[in-house]
Amino acid sequence: KAGVTQTPRYLIKTRGQQVTLSCSPISGHRSVSWYQQTPGQGLQFLFEYFSETQRNKGNFPGRFSGRQFSNSRSEMNVSTLELGDSALYLCASSPSGGADTQYFGPGTRLTVL
């Protein structure tokens, strides 16, 4: 089975712009979770989507949003970028969430100038 893929792998934006990141889960997985990692921080949970519905949400401002399509692919959007949004964004898929093992993609490295 192909693993989790994320595009793009690297992205440079300027403050105030918006960005969309994409995640394609492992075939058959219906749960997709997004995480942010910044220097000195652990992986911070952003949100989880399951069957096109946001099932859980972390403590991030409304500028961070996401969606999931019928094929389970997910996108994450960040509007009005700030310097502090520079981070590695990881997505992870699992069959149904819960206590399932999550399989991570390679991440998108976002740099905001």
Contact with other proteins (CB under 8 A) among 28, 62, 84, 101: 101
Of 24, 102, 108, 110, the one binding other proteins (CB under 8 A) is 102
Considering only 48, 87, 89, 93, the residue that binds other proteins (CB under 8 A) is 48
Going by their DSSP bridges, the two strands 10-13 and 108-112 should be labelled as: parallel
Note whether 42 binds other proteins by CB under 8 A: yes
User: Site for other proteins (CB under 8 A): which residue of 19, 35, 81, 108?
Assistant: 35
Cα-Cα-Cα-Cα torsion 16, 113, 110, 50, nearest 10 degrees, comes to: -20
Cα separations in angstroms, 7 against 25, 41, 59, 73, 106: 12, 23, 24, 11, 9
Site for other proteins contains 106 (CB under 8 A): yes
Footprint on residues 81-100 left by other proteins (CB under 8 A): 90, 92, 98-100
| Closest distance of CB 50 from other proteins, Å | 11
Within 10 angstroms of residue 45's Cβ, the number of other Cβ atoms is: 16
In angstroms, the CA 4 to CA 106 distance is: 8
Question: 33 or 72: whose CB is closer to other proteins?
Answer: 33
